[in-house]
A and B are shown apart, each in its own frame.
Chain A
Amino acid sequence: AQKVTQAQTEISVVEKEDVTLDCVYETRDTTYYLFWYKQPPSGELVFLIRRNSFDEQNEISGRYSWNFQKSTSSFNFTITASQVVDSAVYFCALRPGANSKLTFGKGITLSVRP
């Protein structure tokens, strides 16, 4: 069975602070994919990143960076110099390579105050 745990439920920061969103996963598959999605107040889920289990290289995209560590089954997401527009619910998700069912964590509500 697959499981994704986002232990943080709500985080509040002041603009320009850095913030890290944690994600821990469980799977018995050796091939799998990890995702992060952003859900702004408008409701639509926005794809942020995909990482496969064979690629542990960390990734940076502008103010966003992701740290994938298989040893601790974690795929953490850091926003540097946060902005008010980053306020949203963020979901981490896992898909085994063998099928296409996506398992989501419960989401983290991030509030960035001016």
Chain B
Amino acid sequence: DVKVTQSSRYLVKRTGEKVFLECVQDMDHENMFWYRQDPGLGLRLIYFSYDVKMKEKGDIPEGYSVSREKKERFSLILESASTNQTSMYLCASIGDRRKAYEQYFGPGTRLTVT
């Protein structure tokens, strides 16, 4: 089974702190994604990566950056956390063409910025 893990289920940080959210997948997938989920807004794509050291902006990249140094790991970085970044963050990894790019999600990190 595909497994996508995220470093924390719950995280509380202070405004201005630098925050790292880690995501690891064990299926050798090229494509990885970071979403945030907010009530009434659904899931919105922050950043994605097609390969190591490659990254592309999603729909709401402002205030975030990412790092993909190894294929299995995709990190989301909040350089200076703000209260409007309080949200649920979901990482995803995508299967290959044979599985029609089926997307597997991690359990999520609920981040609170105070």
Contact = CB atoms under 8 A, between A and B. Distances in A.
B103 A35 contact: yes
A48 B10 CA distance: 26
B107 A44 contact: yes
Interface string A33-55: 10101000011110100101000
Given A45-B90, A91-B42, A102 B103 contact: yes
B102 A47 contact: yes
A106 B103 contact: no
Contacts of B99: 50
Contacts of A91: 42-43
Given A44-B108, A106-B41, A33 B94 contact: no
Contacts of A102: 33, 45, 92, 103
Residue from the set B35, B44, B48, B105 with the largest chain A CB neighbour count within 10 Å: B105
B100 A107 contact: no
A112 to B, nearest CB: 20
Interface string B67-89: 00000000000000000000010
B20 interface: no
A87 to B, nearest CB: 16
A50 B100 CA distance: 8
A35 B40 CA distance: 19
Contacts of A37: 105
Given A47-B103, A47-B104, A104-B43, 15 more contacts: A35-B102, A37-B105, A43-B107, A43-B110, A44-B105, A45-B92, A45-B105, A52-B100, A100-B48, A100-B103, A101-B58, A102-B45, A102-B103, A104-B42, A107-B42
Interface of A: 9, 33, 35, 37, 42-45, 47, 50, 52, 91, 95, 100-102, 104-107
